[in-house]
Structure 1
Amino acid sequence: MERLNYDVLKRSGYKGYILENAPEKILQFGEGNFLRAFVDYWFDMSNERAGWNGKAVLVQPIAPGLAKQINEQQGLYTLYLRGRENGEKVDRKRVISSVSRCLNPYEKADYDAMMEVAVSDDLEYIVSNTTEAGIVYDPACGKDDCPPSSFPAKLTQVLYKRWQAGKKPVVILSCELIDNNGKELEKCVKQYIEQWGLEDDFAKWCGECTFCSTLVDRIVPGRVKDPAEAARLDEENGYHDELVDVGEVFGVWNIEGPAWLEEQLPFKKSGLNCIVVPDVTPYKKRKVRILNGAHTGFVLGAYLAGFDIVRDCMHDEDVKGFMNKMLHEEVIPTLPLDKKDLEEFASAVEDRFNNPFVDHELMSISLNSTSKWKARNMPSFLDYIKINGKLPVCLTMSLAAYIAFYSNDVQELTDKGLVCRRPKGNTYTVSDDRWALEFYWEHRNDTPEQLVHAVLTNKQMWDQDLTEIAGLEETVLADLKKIRAEGAKAAYASCL
């Protein structure tokens, strides 16, 4: 079967939107599944809906990458957005044509090509997702490295080349999963300017570039893993695609930037779920406390109750009801955003968790739950108490479920983690920081009273003594005993 390219696509009978030629307006560091299912999809939709008429030049952040495959397919790839939307099953296919080519800057010709894009009059945006480790200042990177190893150093070279050519400043959209990603990237660039002794006028010009911190939200499983399904899709499409990408239907992009940027970007005109705001922090808080907090808040007890996949939990009225009560009655009232927006976001969470195409395992979500509960659930827990003067029923139960998960019939402590036994008989391995695992191992023979007291007074876990919160120790103890005696499902049901 022929490999996907423009000629093959035309012969395949594809009826969707395609843009074969357009100016290269984006330089994108990162060519992986996420950016192709998120950023490049957004610009592709903008080409269709808003006539934006732009393409992205992708750059491999590291030497091994997808440049060869992308270029062989002339930038084309098939994207499937799958999941649930408003309770309905969705499986959408779209061939993305917003990518022109991909460069490997570790080859001299492609490095030079990257610098040609840097000085182009068409260039408007630089986008990046170089993983959480990508935005790092490495003093070993030199001004004349070809290329330097770190992404911020490459970016500094690109911006310097553009300034030297007398071109206008650009907008930089950072999508890495770290706090204040845009600010951290700008800080690294400033460090290289100082280290390399670059001109003050260049530093001033860089200050006129718009470094945006952004919050991205879309689950992207990526490639089709089942060979039989991949073969079936190729057969249906009439071409072979090495770069098939799969993401969930839900997607939101919050960009921290000046008000004018919302009008300049094509997303608002395209009706896409993107807003430009002065501060992205409240939206990060929304995601962490609602989406991530929902996961950590219910999955540990759900696993003890016999569930293995997130989707299956959404088909159980007790577990789903527990999650929804926690979100709508205990978490949302503590958040500083429009309540309608928060309610809609929380309602979308249920659809996202009920995705029929994604088998999201509870055990994978359980990793490092000590720090996750502290970061995702404790802020809502403490804010609820501050506002209402009483304990939140579901969040308190979720704390008891966390303790139960880490202490259920402890078997042994191995290099891989703490081995416990589930009520239905099989063992499972708790993965967390070593000190946390050693704590539960040392307390494996405690009475429930001793264990709850030891956990709640552990300042290394919580940065405070939680027994000082009125009624918490007694309530968590009662909840833990209920989970152990009646099962986590019954304990969750008791909260409703």
Structure 2
Amino acid sequence: MLPVLNNDYVLSRPDLQISREYLSYPEKVLQFGTGVLLRGLVDYLVDKANKQGIFKGRVVVVKSTDGPVTEFSEQDNLYTTHIKGVAQGELINRTLVNASISRVLQSNADWAEVLKTAQQPDLQVIVSNTTEVGIQYVAEKIVTGVPASFPGKLLAVLWERYQHFKGSATSGFVIVPTELVVDNGRLLQAIVLQLAAFNQLPEAFTEWVKTANYFCSSLVDRIVPGKPRDLETLQQQAGYRDGLWIDAEPFLLWAIEGGEQVRQVLSFQQADARMLIAPSITPYREQKLRILNGSHTISVPLAFLGGLNTVYECMEHTYMRSFFRTVVMDEILPTIQDICPQANTFAQDVLDRFANPNIAHKLISITFQESSKMNARNVRTLFRYYERKHALPQAMCLGFAAMLLFLRPVKEENGRYFGARGTEEYLITDDNAAVFAGYWKAVATAEPVAVTSLVQQIAADTRLWEADLTQLPGFTETIGTHLLGMMQEGTLAYAAKQKELRIV
């Protein structure tokens, strides 16, 4: 019978770098959310710093969903992080035990205790990950019962803090939301202030919220799949049982907007150069949008229609591996190098992440809202590339043509459109599906005139694109040629025959 991971166990293992002193560190971080992203990124960084003797603080976590927190308390809030994947071309496979979490409180059952945490003078940081819908305004009273929304809970904690420390200018928090919303810090502050007005809280408190607290927008990037399928085997190898075990990829990025005061409070950033504090995180958001997200969007329809099913399969496929590399390194990267200082490193990291054999990222999932993503992630890149090179990015043009073929419906049922990959049908999950269906209705067969007209009309439709794509010299002709070829020969069969794209 394996022992359960707990304090007694880790104290008997000096190699785990967890000491009695570590376990006695004060609570410095209040964390809203028990999800694997926070545990695999924020708590990972806190733990790493604590083991280096830098931060010397622990995390008290608030679980917003109902249900017990015994899965944490039964193993003294310890858990294993298994880092698996590819970094700088090398396979990474290592585990560590994370001791950063001091306790987990359930927001409804333990609300009084949650508020009491705000009275601790050592508490300096609030982080959250409550999904994108978590940062929304809900008109609710925050002094009677438990607020339903995350901004309501945060306002209640701030009000408790303000009262306990009598509005001291030094008693504020550094507040860092990690929800995937642009300018999440500014948005959260605006909602908190709106909610404070709704609750008719004193003007002096509102001023304290504005001046004594730092609401920092942030960008997080790390794939944390969570509990592994082969957990039983891993536990046997580790010698202990751990119901909270999580997997995580080697790559991480946490970019936070802030100045020197934020840097001092978030001192655990010293433990890892990939946690960045800068006056603006726009360059990091741009490189993720263009390189990581953009290469996904432009490449996936080609691969999916060619019979592949995951990103990892693409990186094992000779042509698609080269296609991804060409798109990332030769076509997207040159368009943002001047505005994103770390773009070269990030681009190589992205290719390593795509080659991670431990992550099964399904291509069909990536095609969700394909046309809107193409507009947001790649249209500007197409224009930037032409401005710099006075030519079209050939691989991206092929990917754009494949997207049009992917969005070609073969049938419609109750307002839902389905495409076909050979004899297999797939649901087109795109809000513009009806628009594309209308254009494709005029193309019964692979007729050059009809296909050319189709591409011309779609490229000029500014309902779909932020700019008229017919203004790119040669774009519609190139897309039309590729689309016609793929309709006649198949996507990857046609792609492999293009000399300028033979990038094996």
TM-score, normalisation: structure 2: 0.91
**Contact kept? 1:105, 1:114, Cα under 8 Å:** yes
Note if contact 2:178-2:218 (Cα within 8 Å) is conserved in structure 1. Answer: yes
Q: Distance in 2 between matches of 1:448 and 1:480?
A: 8
Q: Which amino acid aligns with 1:23?
A: P
- Give the match for residue 90 of structure 2: 88
Where does residue 219 of structure 1 map in the other structure? 223
Q: How far off is 1:457 after superposition?
A: 2.8
Partner SS state of residue 92, structure 2? strand
Q: 2:36 matched to 1:43?
A: no
Distance 2:114 2:425 in 1: 52
Q: Which residue of 2 aligns with 1:129?
A: 129
Quote the residue 1:277 is aligned against: 278
Which residue of the partner structure matches residue 160 of structure 2?
Answer: 161
Report how far residue 147 of structure 1 moved.
0.9
* Cross-structure match for 1:430: 428
Farther-moved stretch of structure 1 (431-440 vs 84-93): 431-440
Query: Any unmatched runs of 5+ in structure 2?
Result: none
**Alpha carbons 1:254, 1:276 under 8 Å: kept:** yes
Does 2:303 align with 1:302?
Answer: yes
**Equivalence for 1:359:** 360
Contact 1:89/1:356 (CA < 8 Å) preserved in 2?
no
On the 8 A contact 1:292/1:376 being kept in 2, the answer is yes
SS of 1:462's partner is coil
Residue pair 2:125, 2:265 contacting (<8 A) in 1 also: no
The counterpart of 1:203, out of the listed 183, 203, 206, is: 206
How many angstroms does 1:124 deviate by? 1.0
Any gaps of 5 or more consecutive residues in structure 1? Answer: none
| Residue in structure 2 matched with residue 419 of structure 1 by the alignment | 418
The offset of 1:315, in angstroms, is 2.3
CA-CA distance at 1:49 after TM superposition: 1.9
Structure 1's 301 and 58: CA in aligned 2 closer, same or farther, altered over 3 A?
A: same
Displacement of 1:296 in angstroms is: 0.7
Q: Counterpart in 2 of 1:384? A: 385
Aligned length: 485
Of 325-334 and 247-256, deviating more is 325-334
Once residues 25 and 394 of structure 2 are traced to their aligned partners in structure 1, the CA distance between those partners, rounded to angstroms, is 56
Q: Deviation at 1:349?
A: 0.9
Shift of 1:464: 4.2
Q: Cα 1:9–1:81, aligned 2, differ >3 Å: closer, same or farther?
A: same
Per the alignment, in what secondary structure is the counterpart of residue 464 of structure 2?
A: helix
Contact between 2:77 and 2:101, CA under 8 Å: does it hold in 1?
yes
Check whether the contact 1:218–1:251 (CA below 8 A) recurs between aligned residues.
yes
User: TM-score, normalised to structure 1's length?
Assistant: 0.92
Structure 2 contact 33–64 (Cα < 8 Å) conserved: yes
The answer (yes or no) to whether the contact 1:9–1:239 under 8 Å persists in 2 is no
Query: Partner amino acid for 1:116?
Result: K
Query: Structure 2 residue aligned with 1:20, among 20, 23, 26?
Result: 23
Partner of 2:118: 118
Percent same amino acid at aligned positions? Answer: 34
Shift of 1:253: 0.7
Q: Does 1:147 align with 2:152?
A: no
Residues 406 and 430, structure 1, Cα contact 8 Å, conserved in 2? yes
Match of 1:74 among 59, 73, 76: 76
> Alignment RMSD, CA only?
2.1
Given that 1:44 and 1:98 are in contact with CA atoms closer than 8 Å, whether structure 2 keeps it comes out as yes
Deviations along 1:436-458, one digit per CA (max 9) or x if unpaired, are 46436645636322322332233
Q: Where in structure 2 are the equivalents of 1:316-465 lying within 5 Å?
A: 316-335=317-336, 337=338, 341-407=342-408, 410-415=409-414, 417-423=416-422, 425-433=423-431, 434-436=433-435, 438-439=437-438, 442-443=441-442, 445=444, 447-465=450-468
- SS of the residue aligned with 2:30? strand
Q: Distance in 1 between matches of 2:185 and 2:341?
A: 28
The one-character-per-residue Cα deviations of 1:389-417 (angstroms, maximum 9, x if unpaired) are 3322222222111112122xx43123584
Which deviates further from its counterpart, 294-303 or 308-317? 308-317
Q: Are 1:253 and 2:254 matched, yes or no?
A: yes
Cα pair 2:375 2:466 within 8 Å, conserved: no
